[in-house]
């Protein structure tokens, strides 16, 4: 193997053949080409070694092809700087560029390791399971922290790269400081961005929302599809996407239907005539839900929750394992109960009663409408029991009679 003096003599000879201006470029091109060929051969050997292995390293190595190739070129550039006869200005520039590139490569590799570690961890979780609450908790935490980590690595790498150049070192130092005290450095000008970043960390720790949670935000019902470092994507039931800033989930109220469990209670209302067969409806409701694949076997109930002059309000409650199943169960119960009432008890459907009196007059005799048709004075007396003399004359009362 030739020593350093022999290598220098070879480089000097190449520069003599191609001239002082073109010679350095020929040396750089030849050495870089040799480095690329060496990397290609070495990479094939590395891939054969890790092909049948498992673990984090086996998943990281295949993604390091481009960073390793660039790193080899940087090392080669360092060797050229020390061995080649280059002008002093070129040596200084190449040294700084090589150092900055090496720092960027280290940041690049760190990002790759972070992404592979997150993918490997989340790949073990059973997100397709019916009861995936714990899995969604872990995925949400890991994804949010991953994005925060990527941003931190980027700021640190950029700050170190800028710090290698004397003219922009102050900007690099500022970015380096912002990674640890971003709020103090950026100040109020970057408050919206920082608020979302801080909200992302809060969401990762406290988890008011998780991936695939069913939420109602701004009056829209949907699932949490994605949580980024600054916003949340909510997939609405009609396949629209609602983009919501992260700070919204920290500062404003919203509904989370799957906060502790995916099980949810669904309700169905019917407005029926007073003669509706409530006991038979309870039996029919249980029959419907027991034959439905959407019911989870926990809650089924039917009650009269309200009455008014014309109809009664009948409410049915039933549970399902997920909100989509609860929606399907509600629709199924509503439809089948209406069909049963139409077929077996048509008289239970809402209707309006009227009574024909002498002279052919059609009047209603129930509810507050009867009072509305009477003179105000009579209606007031019947409703309140206040003596007529106590009511002002302008409101239908009578003036008090003076004694003797």
- Check residue 388 and give its pLDDT: 52
Question: Which domains are present in the chain?
Answer: 4-184 (no CATH), 200-256 (2.30.30.60), 264-348 (3.30.70.100)
Q: What is the mean pLDDT of residues 311-332?
A: 90
Q: How far apart are CA 182 and CA 159, in angstroms?
A: 13
Q: Is the pLDDT of residue 244 over 50?
A: yes
| Residue pLDDT, tens place only, 91-108 | 677 777 778 888 898 999
Q: What is the mean pLDDT of residues 149-157?
A: 86
Q: How far apart are CA 375 and CA 157, in angstroms?
A: 86
Residue 330: name the closest of 304, 295, 278, 280 by CA: 295
Helix axes 133-163 and 88-123, enclosed angle (nearest 10): 180
Q: Which residues pair with 234 in a beta bridge?
A: 224, 242
pLDDT bracket for residue 278 (50, 70, 90): very high
| SS3 letters across the chain | CCCHHHHHHHHHHHHHHHHHHHHHHHHHHHHHHHHHHHHHHHHHHHHHHHCCCCCHHHHHHHHHHHHHHHHHHHHHHHHHHHHCCCCHHHHHHHHHHHHHHHHHHHHHHHHHHHHHHHHHHHHCCCCCCCCCHHHHHHHHHHHHHHHHHHHHHHHHHHHHHHHCCHHHHHHHHHHHHHHHCHHHHHHHHHHHHHHHHHHHHHHHHHCCCCCCCEEEECCEEEEEEEECCCEEEEEECCCCEEEEECCHHHHCCCEECCCCCCCEEEEEEEEECCCCCHHHHHHHHHHHHHCCCCCCCCCEEEEEEEECCCCEEEEEEEEECCHHHHHHHHHHHHHHHHHHHHHHCHHHCCCCCCEECHHHCEECCCCCHHHHHCCHHHHHHHHHCCCHHHCCHHHCCCCCCCCC
| Residue pLDDT, tens place only, 337-376 | 999 999 999 989 888 877 777 555 554 444 444 434 444 4
* pTM score above 0.85: no
Residue 143: name the closest of 223, 62, 224, 61 by CA: 224
Spatial CB neighbours of 206, under 8 Å, sequence gap ≥ 6: none
Q: Is the pLDDT of residue 387 over 80?
A: no
Lowest mean pLDDT among 44-58, 178-192, 303-317: 178-192
Q: What is the mean pLDDT of residues 205-224?
A: 86
Token pair listed for 86: 């280059």
Q: How far apart are CA 236 and CA 225, in angstroms?
A: 9
Q: Is the pLDDT of residue 117 over 90?
A: no
| Residue pLDDT, tens place only, 61-101 | 888 888 888 888 887 777 766 665 566 666 677 777 778 88
- Check residue 234 and give its pLDDT: 92
Q: How far apart are CA 137 and CA 134, in angstroms?
A: 5
Spatial CB neighbours of 83, under 8 Å, sequence gap ≥ 6: 4, 7, 8, 11
């Amino acid at each position: 193997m030739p020593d350093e003096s022999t290598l220098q003599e070879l480089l000097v000879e190449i520069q003599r053949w191609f001239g002082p201006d073109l010679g350095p470029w020929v040396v750089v091109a030849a050495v870089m080409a040799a480095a690329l060929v060496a990397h290609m051969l070495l990479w094939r050997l590395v891939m054969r070694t890790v092909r049948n292995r498992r673990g984090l390293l086996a998943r990281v190595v295949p993604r390091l092809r481009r960073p390793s190739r660039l790193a080899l070129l940087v090392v080669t550039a360092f060797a050229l700087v020390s061995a080649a006869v280059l002008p002093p200005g070129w040596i200084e520039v190449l040294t700084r560029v090589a150092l900055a590139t090496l720092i960027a490569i280290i940041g690049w590799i760190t990002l790759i390791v972070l992404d592979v570690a997150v993918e490997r961890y989340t790949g073990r979780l059973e997100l397709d399971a019916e009861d995936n609450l714990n899995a969604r908790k872990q995925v949400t935490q890991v994804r949010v922290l991953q994005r925060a980590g990527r941003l931190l690595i980027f700021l640190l790498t950029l700050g170190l790269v800028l710090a290698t150049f004397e003219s922009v070192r102050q900007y690099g130092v500022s970015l380096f400081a912002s990674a640890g005290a971003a709020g103090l450095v950026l100040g109020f000008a970057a408050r919206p961005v920082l608020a979302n970043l801080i909200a992302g960390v809060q969401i990762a720790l406290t988890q008011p929302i998780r991936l695939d949670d069913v939420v109602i935000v701004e009056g829209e019902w949907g699932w949490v599809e994605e949580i980024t470092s600054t916003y949340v994507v909510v997939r609405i039931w009609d396949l629209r996407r609602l983009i919501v800033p992260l700070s919204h989930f920290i500062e404003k109220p919203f509904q989370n239907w799957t906060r502790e469990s995916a099980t949810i209670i669904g309700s169905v209302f019917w407005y029926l005539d007073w003669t509706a067969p409530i006991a038979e409806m309870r039996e029919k409701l249980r029959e419907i839900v027991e034959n439905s694949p959407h019911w989870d076997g926990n809650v089924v109930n039917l009650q009269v929750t309200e009455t008014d002059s014309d109809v009664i309000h009948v409410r049915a409650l039933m549970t399902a394992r997920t909100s989509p199943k609860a929606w399907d169960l509600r629709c199924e119960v509503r439809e089948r109960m209406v069909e049963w009432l139409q077929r077996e008890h048509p008289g239970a459907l809402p209707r309006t009663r009227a009574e024909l009196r002498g002279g052919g007059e059609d009047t209603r005799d129930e509810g507050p409408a009867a009072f509305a048709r009477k003179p105000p004075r009579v209606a007031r007396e019947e409703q309140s029991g206040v003596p007529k003399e106590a009511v002002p004359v302008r409101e239908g009362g009578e003036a008090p009679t003076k004694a003797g």
